[in-house]
Amino acid sequence: MAGAGGGGCPAGGNDLQWCFSQVKGAVDEDVAEADVISTVEFSHSGDLLATGDKGGRVVIFQREQENKSRPHSRGEYNVYSTFQSHEPEFDYLKSLEIEEKINKIRWLPQQGAARFLLSTNDKTIKLWKISERDKRAEGYNLKDEDGRLRDPLRITALRVPILKPMDLMVEASPRRVFANAHTYHINSISVNSDHETYLSADDLRINLWHLEITDRSFNIVDIKPANMEELTEVITAAEFHPHQCNVLVYSSSKGTIRLCDMRSSALCDRHSKFFEEPEDPSSRSFFSEIISSVSDVKFSHSGRYMMTRDYLSVKVWDLNMESRPVETHQVHEYLRSKLCSLYENDCIFDKFECCWNGSDSAIMTGSYNNFFRMFDRTTWRDVTLEASRENSKPRASLKPRRVCAGGKRKKDEVSVDSLDFSKKILHTAWHPVENIIAVAATNNLYIFQDKAN
Amino acid sequence: MEVKPRKDADRVVTRKTPPYSPQTSKDTQEKEGMLPERAEEAKLKAKYPSLGQKPGGSDFLMKRLQKGQKYFDSGDYNMAKAKMKNKQLPSAGPDKNLVTGDHIPTPQDLPQRKSSLVTSKLAG
């Protein structure tokens, strides 16, 4: 197929026009490895946006309140808190270096004033508490002028300190460390709808944790064969159902998805549902299995559907139908004729994520050349947009992009051969309610908004 | 009375995938994509004739599980050094991820430990 962009019709609702809002991060050409963003996640209300990077750091942005005196900053995301979540470690027993890269961040639903999130690297999950402090107690008479503690026997008067306002301080503290439960590399974490438990998945196992208990976790899925020579597939992603606390799904490197019900047995090695699209055996090639590997699985907000991302497409599945997806959206089909070089430069193993909008009417995923794709499920329209600093004037509309697969390249089209495969958009996030999206382009975070906002 | 057979046009067709996508079913998609994909496979086999038939085998997945971690055993290293004496240690070779036989990673092959941690530029 020739053009892979939409015909200028924006996706994501009725006549949506996406505009540039903000870009975060350095402009320099030389990107330090540590600055590469590895995960992006909005909180449940959308007022906080968290990013994790390869250097193990978490940066949280907060949406500014509407302020009539500063109309331009309405709805802008500014830095709220930043902290070092994970550090590089060395496992001396196995002579292994453990990367500090943050693989995933998941917010807990807000219950009090403080905010909580889970962040994980390859081996350890941490629960962070982010709290605000805007008052300070003053007037203690326990120390003398030099700051030294006074002898308690010499203090004869009782003085109650007064709470005085101070500049807002946001503190992040690690409240739980869930370690030593994974032999292989953690690829997913997912908070249960019961708000008490969560799962963590690595290549071969899925564990269930209680948020309060760190010295123990329960293994619920184990696909490790007795003989490693017989290994045929690995777990690539896992997620809990948004409403049914007993249901979880996990995807595999073979392009299949298994749904497990924790009520049926303690160990969910036997699935309750098995989702696989039938394949035409005559079309099988060396690349078939690799490109069918599911890199991300996400339930719709409604809980009725789930979406899977494989190398070339995004598929929407109805949980009631295991035989085939109900929708297949091509992300960058023009890459099918480039698979050889994509295998050689390892790009064929890139793990793209995907996300739903708040109403489940649209889905979004990333591609190469800093392009990302949006598909509107109600109008059947799709569009290709680009995250680039060239298009970063405030409220500038994003122009749809087109890729030319072969033959004559039209004006404004980008030829497949000139795509920059080092500029990959693997991580994107959609605000839970509004039409605001966050797109991670290597070391930069772009925020786009709907013009109407 | 003559009974007319139903024509295909009379049948109701339920749409499975959005109409804008010309590949309306996986079969059509596979057939249309088969030529380029097979051509790509032929290219790859021509470049790397020793490439195994099925990439999904356990070697491939084992590599994925190990994910490029570097192994360094100081005991092995020192013993090898003592054995070799004046001779050169076998270097890592093209594939640094394999840990087999005489291949012993040397300190030069290991990734450098990171320097002190700096605030993210996103927060700048």
Chain B nearest CA to A386, separation (Å) = 20
Q: Which residue of B has its CA nearest to A280?
A: B27
> Which residues 6+ apart lie within 8 Å of B111 measured at CB?
A97, B70
The per-residue pLDDT for range B25-43, each reduced to its tens digit, is 444 444 445 578 889 988 8
Q: Of the candidates A397, A416, A424, A450, which has an alpha carbon nearest to the alpha carbon of residue A2? A: A416
Contact criterion met (CB < 8 Å) for A95 and B47: no
Token duo for residue A163? 């709470």
Q: Which residues of A touch B114 (CB under 8 A)?
A: 34, 55, 88, 100
The per-residue pLDDT for range A105-128, each reduced to its tens digit, is 999 999 999 999 999 999 999 999
DSSP A180: S
pLDDT, chain A, mean? 92
Residue A261 has pLDDT above 60, yes or no: yes
Q: pTM for the full model?
A: 0.83
Residue A84 has pLDDT above 90, yes or no: yes
Contact criterion met (CB < 8 Å) for A279 and B26: yes
Q: State ipTM.
A: 0.72
Identify the residue among A23, A253, A286, A337 best suited for mutation to test binding to B, counting B beta carbons within 10 A and taking the highest: A286
Chain B nearest CA to A281, separation (Å) = 10
Neighbour count for residue A366 (Cβ, 10 Å): 25
The per-residue pLDDT for range A361-415, each reduced to its tens digit, is 999 999 999 999 999 999 999 999 999 998 888 889 999 999 998 777 788 899 9
Identify the residue among A37, A89, A95 best suited for mutation to test binding to B, counting B beta carbons within 10 A and taking the highest: A95
Instruction: Give the three-state DSSP class for B29.
Output: helix
Instruction: Measure the CA–CA gap between A266 and A409, rounded to whole angstroms.
Output: 57
Mean pLDDT of A134-160: 88
pLDDT band for position A71 (50/70/90)?
A: low
Query: What's the distance, CA B10 to chain centroid?
Result: 48
Residue A329 has pLDDT above 60, yes or no: yes
Do A87 and A43 form a contact (C-beta atoms < 8 A)? no
Among the partner-chain residues A34, A59, A279, the one whose CB lies closest to the CB of B123 is: A59
For chain A, positions 84-143, list CB contacts with chain B under 8 A.
Answer: 84, 87-88, 94-97, 100
The single-letter code of the amino acid at B113 is R
Contact criterion met (CB < 8 Å) for A253 and B37: no
Domains of chain A (ranges; CATH) run 18-450 (2.130.10.10)
CA distances from B94 to A11, B90, B98 (A): 46, 12, 9
Q: Of the candidates B121, B120, B114, B123, which has an alpha carbon nearest to the alpha carbon of residue A28? A: B121
Cα angle B65-A221-A57, degrees, rounded to a multiple of 5 = 55
Q: Of the candidates A149, A154, A101, A145, which has an alpha carbon nearest to the alpha carbon of residue A123? A: A101
> Which residues 6+ apart lie within 8 Å of A105 measured at CB?
A39, A41, A50, A51, A52, A58, A117, A118, A119, A120
DSSP B76: H
Q: Of the candidates B68, B72, B118, which has an alpha carbon nearest to the alpha carbon of residue A346? A: B68
- Positions of chain B with pLDDT lower than 50, given as ranges: 8-32, 68, 92-93, 96-97, 99-101, 115-116
